[in-house]
Structure 1
Amino acid sequence: MNKTNTGKLERLGIHTDMELVLHLPSRYEDETKLTSLAEAMFRRIGHIQTEGVITLSEIQYRPRRQLVVFLSDGANQLVLRFLHFYASQQKQLALGKRVRARGELRQGFNGMEMVHPVYKIVDENTPLPDALTPVYPTSEGVSQNFLRKAINEALERIDLSDTLPDALLNKLDLPGFEKSIRYLHNPPANADENALLDRTHPAWERMKFDELLAQQLSMRRAQIARRRQKSNVLKAPGSLTKAFIRSLPFTLTDEQEKVVAEIREDLVKAWPMQRLLQGDVGSGKTVVAAIAACQAIDNGFQVAMMAPTEILAEQHFQRLNEWMAPLGISVVWLNGSMKKKAKEEVLSLIGSGEAQFIVGTHALIQESVRFANLGLAIIDEQHRFGVGQRLVLRNKGGNAESIIPHQLMMSATPIPRTLAMTFYADLDVSVIAKLPPGRKPVVTRLIDQKRRDEVIERIHAATLGGRQVYWVCPLIEESEALQLQTAVETHAILTEALNELSVGLIHGRMKAAEKQAVMTDFLEKRIHVLVATTVIEVGVDVPNASLMIIEHAERFGLSQLHQLRGRVGRGSIDSVCLLMYQKPLGDTAKKRLMTMRETNDGFVISQRDLEIRGPGEFLGARQSGQAMLRFADLEKDVDLIGKAASLAEDLLNGKLPDSDTIMSKHLARWLDYREEYLNV
């Protein structure tokens, strides 16, 4: 890449000629046709390109300072109006200059006009372009002309030969790479603009397929590479595992049994398990993780479980300790707010190996934490952690022989199939799709904010029946302080309205001990109504809570609404979630609320969420390795994903002639140095 261009292009994340060539247009402008001024006067509206000679160019001050230019063909005139302009523009647009201007026609003070048109100075013989003009994604200080010139120069410097053989392209019904890339940068005047814009043109299909193939190859190679790493063989099942399963006050469901078997099979291998366990809220992921932990402890190894919040981490600790302590297992927990002496004691137990099961927050990955022999790392709500954080925990189990622990990641945010196929191609995925027997679906109702008094009466009725209630305050993205203020105000209002009841308050700015004290009071029924911010989104388990009110539900995303709703319905009693909304509702908010009312199925909800807002937030910190797909669309390109996955498998298994050469050339073109980001 030209060194003089480097600084500007790096602002766009472009470091190589190939990345420059793959910086594709977001849209096109048609500069191949001219509309005469006479026709423009007749049409009076629309986006056009026209040409004329400047007959007047002056700065006017009414109603504000502006540059006004009159363009004429002798019989008709058009006004060009610039509300923001530079002195150089005034010099450019001088009397007698011929100007080609492109913009939106509108009725102005002095007849038809364009405000801030795109223009250039021409002469009578300046030819029209014979291709559509590309418009590229850009940033401040990087002009379209600069990008067009840089990309065209790179197209001539770079090797555009195909990475895929002709026979394969014919089979896949895809055009050649060079033909496609040149077409997208310089489409002819008669190109199908709609097909270009919605990325259904064959040239776009080729780009999307290539991108998906590179991504599939990279992630599957990462999976193969991991199998060359060493991990401890955790034989199963041992006496502890059997005793633990016998001690459970319930029977595992068929789906839980199936997932336990999948994990058990992974743990007996000599390479590290890297499994993602998906299960809806309340599906029993924790007990499955506990069985996996028993297998590691049975073999003499430590287990670490990391959770994203102190409330969730402590709740895991309490439940696991309740299960494990009677079996003689030492369970400890570690968090960032522990006092120095208590923390030192826990660190000593971890370092000596006396602590067998360690539960904690991000505190587990601090430098001071030294495991004696970590055999299994469990990460709950894995999407809430960064790639680096997950790797630090995994690598803490490494030793001089480069033996690393097995890893089990858990998520209560189900991932749609197309997303899992694409972004988790390097992981083994287990799914618990059904809730255990006895769990009743939560009834969800929508209610206008104006009916708050009726909602408060509903709270009275629920508490008279011995039940408890959550009241979740609105998510205020702009300010955590505003959200806290809302929670405090709501707590005061409900305390006054429900003066015979105990109304509690919990929010993110409380100290860990204060939050835990409130949750303990709620769990032990000393608090009837708990006013909360989204700090209770994950992990809080109070079986007696059967009513949840989410205020201003239209401000929440679908997955967050689903997580919050999962805090009720955790026992066998009928539960209700009231989504209070304020009119008017936008289309997206309507879709979210209707989805919540229609289904309790987390996989259906996640699919709808993907349709509404795209894949970004499902990926968690995986996207901290850069956006993995720039061109392909996970909803529209399911067929391409399938074809790319199939070809990746064939290439990795050496089923095509020159498979290794094809793979190396393809990955070099599409990922270059970025491949490392995709594999963490």
Structure 2
Amino acid sequence: MTTPSSARRPRGAVPLLDRPLDRLIGKTTATQLAKQGITTPRGLLRLFPRRYDTWGDLTDLRTLKDREQATIQAQVVRAAARRTRSGRPPALMEATVTDGVTTMGLVMFGNPGQMHHHAEQLAPGTTVLLYGKVGLRHGRLQLASTRFQVLDELDDAEREALLARPMPIYPGTESLPSWLVGRAVRTILDQIGPADVPEPLPEPVRTTEHLVDAYTAYRWVHTPEDATQWREARRRLRHEEAFVLQAALVQRRVQHAAEHTAVAWPIPGEESLLADLDAALPYPLTAGQVRVGGQIADALNSTVPMQLLLQGDVGSGKTLVALRAMLQVVDAGGQAALLAPTEILAAQHRASLEALLGPLAHAGMLGGAQRATRVRLLTGSTPPAQRRQLLADLAAGEPTIVVGTHALLSQTVQIPFLGLVVVDEQHRFGVAQRDALRERGGVTDPATGAQRTPHLLVMTATPIPRTIAMTIFGDLDTAVLDELPGGRRPVATSLVPWAREPWVERIWKRAAEEVAAGGRVYVVCPRIDADDAAGADQEEPELPGALLDEGGELPQEAAPTRPPAAVVDWAQQLAAEPALAGVGVGTLTGRMSAAEKDAAMVDFISGRTPVLVCTTVVEVGVDVPSASMMVILDADRFGLSQLHQLRGRVGRGERESVCVAVTGVEVGSPAYHRLKAFGDISDGFKLAEADLELRSEGNVLGAAQSGRRSDLDLLRVSRDGALIARARKQAETVIAADPTLAEHRDLAAAIADRLDEEAGAYLERS
């Protein structure tokens, strides 16, 4: 059992690590740290060095980037001070430093006496630690707003002691360079002992993993005597981060299971809606659909509430799997609900479910099957009279499937026999939102006092690497559909630069050819109109030879600066495009009313307007089998998962389909590499792995929620998958023995410090 450090403190005493920082390191430095969100010694100790340099080893100046705040070690070539002509400021000091290969300039401003003193300090040959903002002046690197520390000023004893020690380099600011951060950290370390530092890692975990204790880890990570110490410290702190995160998720899951129960819905037999659906399908289920379907059926037939994440690539058949699960509940007299993020997606889901069910969706209607149900739709645009009738039917317990948006979360919606909640596109909803719908069907079991809750199936069409899924959705089981149903065709993807005007013109000729052959064409823009400053829809949340007359790589020259493509502008432009003469052009955005959206989709599907200029409102769920071409304008303004979702809107029928991403990014830029990955990789799971490699976990795992810190310090899910898996098992062992963490108070405190109730489902909101 871990002995919490809090037990060794006097009752009522404020732990040293939680005291105001300004009382321990001084107000000036504390004020600067507060601007970075660091207000306690605990937060300062978790501001880990970005890297470690060796005293005397010069920084490679070629690695510096324009406009970055950099800490470098260099040797002075020359330095001189002089008065300025304007006298504002009165003097400046200019110097040249080198790493032995490259030189760069630095400049400082101030009063004459101070500048002359700095010039004397920076004598030629002096080794100096510099901090400032990198810039370009007349094509040469320069360090501005410079602060420095002369390393040669150390006496012989200090030099001998420090030469072999790694020098921590911290993320700093112009007002608080690395060495001042280091000084503040050392001030804290000088005032604490082992009893002041909490120990979230149980001793068995530390022993098994051969990890140092928390106090030693903080000393070694900030003041290492050699590289072995800081590496061991980071290894321990990285494991702590994984363990605390997984413990939080495991505890959430265990607590939910203890406090909730569910109705066990029996697996339907041969005389059932589910059996009728399977018999009517024009194609066999894939092996993955059979496997996952069986897993879900067993989970629904249990009083333990199912909490399952179903993920699969675009077009893998998740909707059919979800429908089969909902029918298991409806067959037994229960109700099922599907929560979608937008009205258009909710309407598409209803249409897709009715299409799959056919006569089975027309209960009580002419032409309906003998055994049938109904698929109801509830959104903010549902007419009042229709809404009242629907709410009455639901409250009366009608066995049915209801599809809806956030309108389903309203307190006026009562679904007493709600047995299954399906949440589509989980990244558009918070944990609290998905739980709110489950509460609509929750009642208290009088015998046990437990809350009876519906089963939960969370779907995402954005494939997530396993390690991220383990971290983001740690409170859910996972199931993966890893194959595509028969009939799905790969989509050829091309990158087109705006600078190649003949290529761009060829796009619209190809679009006309698609329309002439019976196809439909999406043209996606990042903005609705030119004045749309947000650049997003308010409802959200290498060309192949057949396309181009010429081939080749993207040109090296960057396209001229141009405003982002907007739906309003491009709808007008394409209506006047000679290659599209006689072809109807429609529009679809999140700002349109529900009736307008429905009309736009009807016109698009019927061929009245076979070219649809739209925003990402069509990103997910929209299913038009005749759509054979996707054009994404200014594709660099979308994330990889978004691009993949847009590409998934075509290739859903029998036609060969293409996707064209038009961009003006510079070759070699991060945006270029992202688009290159999009063009080269069609498998959603492989693309998700590439996305993880291209972006930091801070981007992937999201910003802090409710004002709390929820990013990762040292843990990297792209690298630490094995560690996360081990930490998961260790956390399960601890929580199984101590569900409330009454015997692991330091661990409980660490969970409370790092996570809130929403952060249990960190999700990329990019």
Q: Residue by residue, what CA displacement relative to the aligned partner does 1:196-241 show, whole Å, maximum 9, x if unpaired?
A: 6xxxx22111110111112222212222222212122222226233
Q: Residue by residue, what CA displacement relative to the aligned partner does 1:237-285 show, whole Å, maximum 9, x if unpaired?
A: 2623323333333322221111111111111221211100001111111
Which of 504, 512, 515 aligns to 2:586? It is 504
1:71-220 to 2 correspondence within 5 Å?
81-83=107-109, 102-103=129-130, 115-119=144-148, 130=162, 134=168, 136-137=170-171, 144=180, 147-148=184-185, 151-152=188-189, 155-156=192-193, 158-160=195-197, 169=206, 171-188=208-225, 191=227, 201-220=231-250
Q: Is the 8 A contact 2:310 2:458 kept in 1?
A: yes
1:122-521 to 2 correspondence within 5 Å?
130=162, 134=168, 136-137=170-171, 144=180, 147-148=184-185, 151-152=188-189, 155-156=192-193, 158-160=195-197, 169=206, 171-188=208-225, 191=227, 201-228=231-258, 229-237=260-268, 239-322=272-355, 323=357, 324-325=361-362, 326=368, 327-354=371-398, 356-401=400-445, 402-449=451-498, 450=501, 451-474=503-526, 479-480=535-536, 486-496=566-576, 497=578, 498-521=580-603
| Cα drift, residue 606 of structure 1 | 0.8
Q: CA 1:119 to 1:464, structure 2 compared with 1: closer, same or farther past 3 Å?
A: closer
Q: Residue by residue, what CA displacement relative to the aligned partner does 1:321-375 show, whole Å, maximum 9, x if unpaired?
A: 3422244323221222334444333333333334722211112112332323322
| Cα drift, residue 286 of structure 1 | 0.9
Q: Is the 8 A contact 1:447 1:581 kept in 2?
A: yes
Q: CA 1:590 to 1:11, structure 2 compared with 1: closer, same or farther past 3 Å?
A: closer
* Count of matched residue positions in the alignment of Structure 1 and Structure 2: 647
Q: Is the 8 A contact 2:526 2:536 kept in 1?
A: no
| Cα drift, residue 537 of structure 1 | 0.9
TM-score normalised according to structure 2 size: 0.74
Q: CA 1:341 to 1:157, structure 2 compared with 1: closer, same or farther past 3 Å?
A: farther
Q: CA 1:180 to 1:247, structure 2 compared with 1: closer, same or farther past 3 Å?
A: same
- The equivalent of 2:73 in structure 1 is 47
Q: Residue by residue, what CA displacement relative to the aligned partner does 1:55-106 show, whole Å, maximum 9, x if unpaired?
A: 98x86344963543699xxxxxxx98434x6xxx889779799969742799
Q: CA 1:114 to 1:258, structure 2 compared with 1: closer, same or farther past 3 Å?
A: closer
- The equivalent of 1:640 in structure 2 is 723
Q: CA 1:202 to 1:499, structure 2 compared with 1: closer, same or farther past 3 Å?
A: same
Partner secondary structure for residue 236 of structure 2: helix
Partner secondary structure for residue 282 of structure 1: coil
Partner secondary structure for residue 232 of structure 1: coil
| Cα drift, residue 30 of structure 1 | 7.0
Amino acid paired to 1:272: P
Q: Residue by residue, what CA displacement relative to the aligned partner does 1:621-649 show, whole Å, maximum 9, x if unpaired?
A: 99667425321111222332233234334
Partner secondary structure for residue 504 of structure 1: strand
Q: Is the 8 A contact 1:415 1:618 kept in 2?
A: no
Q: CA 1:150 to 1:424, structure 2 compared with 1: closer, same or farther past 3 Å?
A: farther
Q: Percent identity?
A: 34
- The equivalent of 1:531 in structure 2 is 613
Q: Distance in 2 between matches of 1:125 and 1:597?
A: 55
Q: CA 1:12 to 1:485, structure 2 compared with 1: closer, same or farther past 3 Å?
A: closer
Amino acid paired to 2:749: A
| Cα drift, residue 598 of structure 1 | 2.8
Find out whether 1:674 has 2:726 as its counterpart: no
Q: Distance in 2 between matches of 1:382 and 1:523?
A: 28
Q: CA 1:427 to 1:139, structure 2 compared with 1: closer, same or farther past 3 Å?
A: farther
Q: Distance in 2 between matches of 1:394 and 1:621?
A: 26
| Cα drift, residue 166 of structure 1 | 6.8
- The equivalent of 2:764 in structure 1 is none
| Cα drift, residue 677 of structure 1 | 4.3
Q: Is the 8 A contact 1:350 1:370 kept in 2?
A: yes
Q: Distance in 1 between matches of 2:627 and 2:413?
A: 37
Q: CA 1:70 to 1:660, structure 2 compared with 1: closer, same or farther past 3 Å?
A: closer
Find out whether 1:26 has 2:50 as its counterpart: yes
Q: CA 1:22 to 1:155, structure 2 compared with 1: closer, same or farther past 3 Å?
A: farther
TM-score normalised according to structure 1 size: 0.82
Q: CA 1:63 to 1:490, structure 2 compared with 1: closer, same or farther past 3 Å?
A: farther
Partner secondary structure for residue 308 of structure 2: strand
Q: CA 1:289 to 1:403, structure 2 compared with 1: closer, same or farther past 3 Å?
A: same
**What RMSD over aligned residues (CA atoms) do the two structures have, in Å?**
4.3
Q: Distance in 2 between matches of 1:433 and 1:499?
A: 42
Q: Distance in 1 between matches of 2:275 and 2:566?
A: 49
Q: CA 1:26 to 1:216, structure 2 compared with 1: closer, same or farther past 3 Å?
A: same
Q: Distance in 2 between matches of 1:426 and 1:159?
A: 32
Q: Which runs of 5+ in 2 are unaligned?
A: 1-17, 24-29, 59-70, 96-104, 123-127, 363-367, 446-450, 538-561, 762-766
Amino acid paired to 1:234: W
Q: CA 1:359 to 1:425, structure 2 compared with 1: closer, same or farther past 3 Å?
A: same
Partner secondary structure for residue 382 of structure 2: coil
Which is worse superposed, 209-218 or 335-344? 335-344
Q: Is the 8 A contact 1:235 1:295 kept in 2?
A: yes
- The equivalent of 1:37 in structure 2 is none
Partner secondary structure for residue 117 of structure 1: strand
Q: CA 1:291 to 1:382, structure 2 compared with 1: closer, same or farther past 3 Å?
A: same
Amino acid paired to 1:253: T
Amino acid paired to 1:103: L
Q: Distance in 2 between matches of 1:114 and 1:261?
A: 63
Which is worse superposed, 134-143 or 497-506? 134-143
Q: CA 1:334 to 1:635, structure 2 compared with 1: closer, same or farther past 3 Å?
A: same
Partner secondary structure for residue 227 of structure 1: helix
Q: Which runs of 5+ in 1 are unaligned?
A: 35-44, 72-78
Q: Residue by residue, what CA displacement relative to the aligned partner does 1:460-504 show, whole Å, maximum 9, x if unpaired?
A: 222221222112224698534998972222212221222211111
| Cα drift, residue 577 of structure 1 | 1.4
Q: Distance in 2 between matches of 1:108 and 1:236?
A: 73
Q: Is the 8 A contact 1:217 1:663 kept in 2?
A: no
Find out whether 1:592 has 2:694 as its counterpart: no
- The equivalent of 1:2 in structure 2 is 19
Partner secondary structure for residue 328 of structure 1: coil
Partner secondary structure for residue 116 of structure 1: strand
Q: Distance in 1 between matches of 2:703 and 2:151?
A: 50
Q: Residue by residue, what CA displacement relative to the aligned partner does 1:580-601 show, whole Å, maximum 9, x if unpaired?
A: 3335333433333333333321
- The equivalent of 1:42 in structure 2 is none
Q: CA 1:20 to 1:539, structure 2 compared with 1: closer, same or farther past 3 Å?
A: same
Q: Is the 8 A contact 1:275 1:428 kept in 2?
A: yes
- The equivalent of 1:40 in structure 2 is none
